[in-house]
Amino acid sequence: MKQLISKSLLIFTAFAVFLSCKNEQKKTLTIDEIEAETEKVNAYFQKSFDAGVDRSPEFQTRLGIKKDYGKLNDNTPEFAERSLEIKKEELIWLTDSVNTEALSKDALLSYTLFKQGVENYIEDYKFRLHNYPVNQMFGAQSGKPAFLINMHRIDSISDAEAYISRLHAFKPYFLQLIENLKAREAIGIMPPKFVYDKIVQDSENILVGEPFENTSNPSALLKDFVTKVNKLEIEEAAKINLQNQAKNALITSVKPAYNALILFMNAQKERSNSDHGAWKFPNGEAFYNSALKRTTTTNLTANEIHDIGLAEVKRIHGEMNAIREQVEFKGDLKAFFEFMKTDKQFYYPANQEGKDAYLAKAVKLIDSMKTRLDEIFISKPKADIIVKAVEAFREQSAGKAFYNRPAADGSRPGIYYANLYDMESMPTYQMEALAYHEGIPGHHMQLAIQQELEDVPMFRKFGGYTAYTEGWGLYSEFIPKEMGFYADPYSDFGRLAMELWRACRLVVDTGIHAKKWTREEGIAYYTENTPNAELDGIKMVERHIVMPSQATAYKIGMLKILELRENAKKVLGNKFDIREFHEVIISHGAIPLNVLEDFVEEYIASKK
């Protein structure tokens, strides 16, 4: 796959000039001058980051800050316009007030990435409405309750009152959300029909239980609030008072907020159609091409990505056939797929006991990997990781597995979520690959270390490039194979099945958004080419539809990391150290793929 990924234009010439050390003027600068300019630009990055945190009460909470603890984010058009003006002001400062020749190497990288982010924001503003703010993958209908349940800590009465204040904020937030949806409809942007029922279902799930219904079973939000308040060391009367206030907020603010959204969704569904790709948007082709560039940090076209996917599907099918022969299965690969889908030996029972067993095994897999990290890593995260099942109120629409990074202040560990709603979509032979991807050595390893980096601007600690982050996650499914994991051939088949899934994503995402495939054609491609359950294919295609380009990041990122590793091994021979290579990959935080290539080339040069 050498030369698979072309050089991106995302990094400015100044960076390349700096790396080549050909700038004679820079050589005449004093250490004090470099330190002064570096300190100035880093101070500006911190100021910008702090200002962004001040504008986002929800991000404050994620960081463990309780400044605007009773507020939700501002989702008005005026806020979006002001954010654009801020970015334009930042670009002027970056262009006019910084001597890039006087920056340290790390500061120049930060400057380049920061400026790239600002320019991308400004350029992409024209596409700000080219999305679906509520869909089956994310949106206020599920995101706001999940945010309160997972992020809002209650350590005092004032924290409980802030929770109640946020419940009251649902109503104005949702009413503005509906206005935002109307603005998209005015330019012809509406979700396809299948999305609406899922949004309505998510919304109705929140309104199940006390105080919305005459029942002793609490709703998801009330249960969370009561559980947290009951842990406070305060008088019982104070707890009851807070609970009554929360019930009032749920009835007077949360319920009408959801009822308004449900009413609008049901009405807009009648005006929607079943066109699924981004091609249907105004300037849809330009939008999708831009989305691919942002997602992959490459200049690969939709056709090129589609072809890469087809080639990878063919290669992985070949490796799967080898395993089929190893286990002496009588039948072709398609028959083997059907066997893996349906044989009961590969599934836990669809009851609480089975779900508990799945979670326990996932914990064991991660704990086992923890004991082997010194073999392949130098740096390791300080933050711990836990495993949780996806909450009931969102499990029907959520993906099969995902990761939430730990709180920056250490108050909350990283979380590997497993979706156990449909146990037939969670075969045991995929457990290893899932745990390694979402947990260790995957997302937890990379994202926790990124947050814990020292002397790095905050925007880099909490920023991200999907191709890098998800490329690392998929690469992390492969690393354990080289360490002797996946000893069971069926688990190794599961690893290949996960990689195959990501290869199919390249085909289907581009198929839907650039080649006008239908939802049904996409589902058929997954069911015909993978061993996954049909529900997996349905969920994945529906994810492609509402998140154009996102799913292309995994395989493109993994292929680049493998390409860089193979090149380093070829050049360095016995001087190659996998621990050092991984340190190069993860020690800078998330970066574009072409910048990652620059760092690997520097590593190779230093070893030579």
Question: Which tens digit of pLDDT belongs to each residue from 551-599?
Answer: 999 999 999 999 999 999 999 999 999 999 999 999 999 999 989 999 9
Band (45; pLDDT cuts 50, 70, 90)? very high
Distance of CA 66 to the CA centre of its chain: 24
pLDDT of amino acid 16: 42
Band (27; pLDDT cuts 50, 70, 90)? low
Tell me the angle at which helices 466-482 and 443-452 cross, rounded to the nearest 10 degrees: 120
pLDDT of amino acid 114: 96
d(CA 569, CA 482): 15
Band (76; pLDDT cuts 50, 70, 90)? very high
Q: Which of 5-14, 160-169, 410-419, 464-473 has the lowest mean pLDDT?
A: 5-14
More confidently predicted of 462 and 254:
254
pLDDT of amino acid 15: 43
Q: What percent of the chain has pLDDT over 90?
A: 88
**pLDDT digit string (tens) for 509-561?**
999 999 999 999 999 999 999 998 888 899 899 999 999 999 999 999 999 99
d(CA 223, CA 229): 10
Mean pLDDT of 12-30: 49
Band (481; pLDDT cuts 50, 70, 90)? very high
d(CA 46, CA 592): 21
pLDDT of amino acid 395: 85
d(CA 250, CA 165): 11
Model confidence at 13: pLDDT above 80:
no
pLDDT of amino acid 398: 75
**pLDDT digit string (tens) for 451-466?**
999 889 999 998 889 9
Mean pLDDT of the chain, nearest integer = 93
pLDDT of amino acid 63: 87
d(CA 76, CA 58): 15
Mean pLDDT of 223-229: 98
Q: Where are the domains of the chain?
A: 13-127, 140-280, 285-560
Task: Provide the sign of the torsion angle of the four alpha carbons 489, 494, 495, 501, taken in this order.
Answer: positive
d(CA 80, CA 73): 11
Band (14; pLDDT cuts 50, 70, 90)? very low
d(CA 243, CA 211): 11
Whether the upstream peptide bond of residue 349 has omega within 30° of 0, thus cis, is no
**Furthest C-alpha separation in the chain:** 78
pLDDT of amino acid 390: 92
pLDDT of amino acid 79: 98
d(CA 374, CA 573): 21
pLDDT of amino acid 78: 98
pLDDT of amino acid 587: 92
Mean pLDDT of 500-512: 98
pLDDT of amino acid 400: 83
d(CA 30, CA 198): 61
Band (348; pLDDT cuts 50, 70, 90)? very high
pTM, whole model, 2 decimals?
0.86
Model confidence at 371: pLDDT above 60:
yes
**SS3 at position 218:** strand
Model confidence at 64: pLDDT above 90:
no
pLDDT of amino acid 608: 81
